[in-house]
Amino acid sequence: MRLSAILVAAGAGRRAGGDVPKQWQAVAGRPVARWALEGLLAVGCDEVVVVISPTDDRHAEAAFAGLTGWRLVPGGAERTDSVRHGLAALVGNPEAVLVQDAARPFIAPDCVRALVTALAEADGAIPALPVSDTLKRGQNGRIIETVPRADLFRAQTPQAFRLDALRRAYAAATDVATDDAALVEAVGGRVTLVPGDPRMIKLTYPEDFAMAEALARSWGDAPRQTRTGLGFDAHRWGPGDAVWLCGVRIDHAQTLVGHSDADAGLHALTDAILGALGMGDIGDHFPPSDPQWKGASSDRFLIHARDLATRRGATINHVDVTLICEQPRIKPHREAMLQRVAELLALRPEQVSIKATTTEGMGFTGRGEGLAAQAIATLDCPL
């Protein structure tokens, strides 16, 4: 059965906190939506239409770098609108389609196989878990009813449908739905249940990310290992009025001299990631003899290293940068640096450390001749 998928990633995800919607936040160094997209591609989807907010294209392009078989389409005001846009964008006339919430990073292949098998005798199939907790209905902090839990299930995604059945359901839909199966049911379609997987959790609140981090460490069967890489860089001071450090421009009486923007912090961090991957150093990938890198933003170098890690199947778990200088003062800019590095690497801020120290007047940094930086990166890599 030919299979395509719609990955719904247009939500704002405000309850999860963070500076970006939850689908673009990282779990084990990879954006949540990337986990979901990789899962859909791994189960054999011929194409994946990713529905995003029109303002999130930059996040999506960064999150999915190095992957093929996906396309972006703009979403709508409600989830129902977004899925409708995804349906309209499908090509190739597949027999079946999976609809996956981007807030659910993990997709169990066995579950998908059961869903597709169930479509032989149904219009749709959803993974579901029986409710095991006692259910209470409350109002204003007071219990007003105990709800019987017999025959109640928690619906998960991905949900699978025959494409023609799902299109009929959406053509007839007039109400907003949080569940695609409900629309198919509303037009008389038959939707069956298959056993869900408790690991296919939905990330809604900040505390859910801790559970996802724990699950990510054991997800999949391929053996993995923790690797560390060390990077070091130094540049001399020269005439100027500002300096770039860890992606942040700082007004200063001098600037650092280099072929690019001479951001020693990002250069050291790029080398640390490349080192953990065993893929040479920054000069191998961006030779200073190449004129195209003259004055280039070091953001590009770090993003390149991040994308190499992603294509390798590695996740960046933590990075730590130490800037070594007498001037400028780093502390007033440290938070901005931390946020910028986290953004460039698609990490949470707590996965990034930025520090500064001096050499007490000793050496070339102590004499004010230059600035140095060292960095260490910890990656989870496939063997």
Backbone φ and ψ for 64, nearest 5 degrees, come out as -105, 15
CA angle 63, 42, 1 (to 5 degrees): 130
163 contacts 45 by C-beta, under 8 angstroms: no
Structural domain for 370, as ranges: 224-382
Residue with tokens 């060292």: 374
Q: Are residues 115 and 246 in the same domain?
A: no
Domain boundary among 160, 192, 218: 218
pLDDT of 341 > 60? The answer is yes
Q: Are residues 188 and 254 in the same domain?
A: no
Q: Which of 51-55, 100-104, 325-329, 347-351 has the lowest mean pLDDT?
A: 347-351
pLDDT of 18 > 80? The answer is no
Q: Are residues 306 and 356 in the same domain?
A: yes
Please report, for the domain that includes residue 237, its CATH number.
Answer: 3.30.1330.50
CA angle 340, 349, 7 (to 5 degrees): 90
Token reading at 13: 């995800």
List, in sequence order, every beta strand (DSSP E) within 242-283. Answer: 242-245, 248-251, 254-256
Q: Are residues 261 and 199 in the same domain?
A: no
Question: 197: phi > 0 → left, psi -120 to 50 → alpha, else beta; which?
Answer: beta
Q: Are residues 142 and 253 in the same domain?
A: no
pLDDT of 223 > 70? The answer is no
256 contacts 293 by C-beta, under 8 angstroms: no
Q: Are residues 66 and 141 in the same domain?
A: yes
Q: Are residues 104 and 228 in the same domain?
A: no
Distance from C-alpha of 218 to C-alpha of 214, rounded to nearest angstrom = 7
pLDDT in tens, 122-165: 999 999 999 999 999 999 999 999 999 999 999 999 999 999 99
Q: Are residues 239 and 166 in the same domain?
A: no
What is the pLDDT at residue 290? 86
Looking from the CA of 315 toward its CB, the CA atoms found within 13 Å total 20
Q: Are residues 190 and 330 in the same domain?
A: no
Helix, strand, or coil (residue 273): helix
Q: Are residues 212 and 268 in the same domain?
A: no
71 contacts 65 by C-beta, under 8 angstroms: no
What is the pLDDT at residue 214? 83
pLDDT of 221 > 60? The answer is no
pLDDT in tens, 271-327: 999 999 999 999 999 988 888 888 899 999 999 999 888 877 788 999 999 999 999
Domain boundary among 188, 218, 248: 218
Q: Are residues 210 and 82 in the same domain?
A: yes
Domain boundary among 199, 218, 237: 218
Token reading at 289: 């003899």
Distance from C-alpha of 224 to C-alpha of 344, rounded to nearest angstrom = 24
Q: Are residues 143 and 16 in the same domain?
A: yes
